[in-house]
Structure 1
Amino acid sequence: MTRPVLLALCLATAPLATTAGAQTRHNTNAPIDFAADTIELQDRANRAVLLGNVSVRQAEMSLSAARMTVNYTGQIVDGNPQVSRLDASGGVVVRRPDQTARSQFAVYDLNRRVITMIGGVSLTQGANTVNGGRLTINLDTGRAVMDGSSVRGGGSGSGNVTTAPSGRVTGTFSVPKRN
């Protein structure tokens, strides 16, 4: 991707990123509450697999999906395993105050405090909507960056996944009524 295109993409998402930055910083140290139809604990692999109507909540943010793998470090602090990463797939929805993002897949890296969403991504804030192939949300700064890159090749034998066929970010920004 050339620099002018990257700059244009950053400018295109600036209204969403600026407004998101006005939100309070997400508390990544808050406990993570979850619910699912089924949970499979894989202690030797330091992970848990949540299946069916998965719902996760941390502070004011929620994440829902059909399936989620919770990876933890193996360290226990105050009787709790230390979660390091959440991998979600199938109708992923991330909600924060005044923002909703949807995609096919998402990774929440708790150590970096970053959520990366790929596959038909849509970010909505009020009447503003941005669509693309990949969205990265920095939970420390509230900055959201969308790009239109296509993703090819999925893991676990899922075949090819192609998103954002135009390779561009599209969207709609609302305009305030003027006299």
Structure 2
Amino acid sequence: MIRSHLLAAGLAARLVAGLAAGLTLAALPAAAQTLPGGPGGQPTDINADQAIEWHQDVKAYVARGNASAKRGETTLYGDVLTAYYREGGPGKGNEVFQITSEGNVRLIGPTQQVYGDKLVYDMDRKVAVVTGKDLKLITPTDVVTARDTLEYYEGQGFAVARGEAVAVRTDRRLRADVLIGQFAKGPDGKTAMNRIDGSGSVVVTTPTDVARSDKLVYSVPDNTAVLLGTVRITRGDNQLNGDAAEMNMATKVNRVIAGPASGGRVKGLLIPGDVQASNSPGTAPAKTR
């Protein structure tokens, strides 16, 4: 459902890897500077309407006023961009270990756009966190929003949306307190979203069904969601309740499963004459042994 671009804030790694020592610009309007990249890396172009500053006391470079940092096809924008560095040994120069963007944050890449109020990228841990109001990720196929944070753990291959997290693709919607997307390489060698886990107040919405549960495991390749804990699926006025369920969004077939918590039985309410009755959610209960 959500591809590897979910929480594309991890692309900030490519932006900041090229920042290095040697920035000595005075605070001049419409400042611009090209910084050398790391070993074999591309240069990073820094621009700002107001100034680019070198703060030696706190070991930081600061770009102010509609600032941007561009590297390759990806650009990070913000009212203020700050790159923190540590001094290297003799002949090694300085090394940037963290970059922040504050105010009107936008991370624009070839296939994704990320919006927030603040972005922090920790280069040592390869972790990016975006916070603020109206957190949003937009890709050609998906829109992901969150109330608290959008996080990307580049080294571990997963991303997290926290706080009323919602992922929307066309006519399907996943909602949970926390959504976690896991990445895997496909046959073509490209990284894509492989699985989504949801926890807390899970709601899955399709054109025909609304399902609620405590937990969610969604297989992107199979287009199938497994719901766990206090499951309720409704279609029209019809309803089925159980301990678990499987929703196949390709075939539109739902299977509600009974377990010990429900006494080994699936409970349902089917309304005679309902236009949806002939296509009610789920099938006969599959009892656990």
**Matched ranges for 1:25-44 at <5 A:** 31-37=141-147, 38-44=149-155
Matched, 1:175 2:272: yes
Paired with 1:143 and 1:165, the residues of 2 have a C-alpha distance of: 22
List alignment gaps of at least 5 residues for structure 1.
1-29, 151-163
- Shift of the alpha carbon at 1:165? 3.1
Q: Which residue of 1 aligns with 2:104?
A: none
**For 1:60, which of 155, 171, 184 is the aligned residue?**
171
Q: Which residue of 2 aligns with 1:9?
A: none
On the 8 A contact 2:242/2:262 being kept in 1, the answer is no
**Residue type at the aligned position of 1:145:** R
Q: Which residue of 2 aligns with 1:140?
A: 250
> What TM-score, normalized to structure 2?
0.43
**Residue type at the aligned position of 1:108:** Y
The structure with higher relative contact order (CA 8 Å, sep 6+) is 1
Task: Give the 3-state SS of the residue equivalent to 2:155 in structure 1.
Answer: helix
RMSD of the alignment, in Å? 1.9
- Shift of the alpha carbon at 1:55? 0.5
**Residue type at the aligned position of 2:229:** G
Compare CA radii of gyration and give the structure with the larger one. Answer: 2
List, as ranges, runs of 4+ consecutive aligned residues in structure 1 with deviation greater than 3 Å. Answer: none
How far does the alpha carbon of each residue in 1:136-167 deviate from its partner, in whole angstroms, 9 at most, with x for none? 011221111111124xxxxxxxxxxxxx3312
**For 2:182, which of 38, 50, 71 is the aligned residue?**
71
On the 8 A contact 1:123/1:130 being kept in 2, the answer is yes
Paired with 1:118 and 1:57, the residues of 2 have a C-alpha distance of: 21
- Shift of the alpha carbon at 1:174? 0.3
Q: More helix by proportion, 1 or 2?
A: 1
How far does the alpha carbon of each residue in 1:16-39 deviate from its partner, in whole angstroms, 9 at most, with x for none? xxxxxxxxxxxxxx8232101211
- Shift of the alpha carbon at 1:81? 4.7
**Residue type at the aligned position of 1:169:** V
Equivalent residue pairs, number:
132
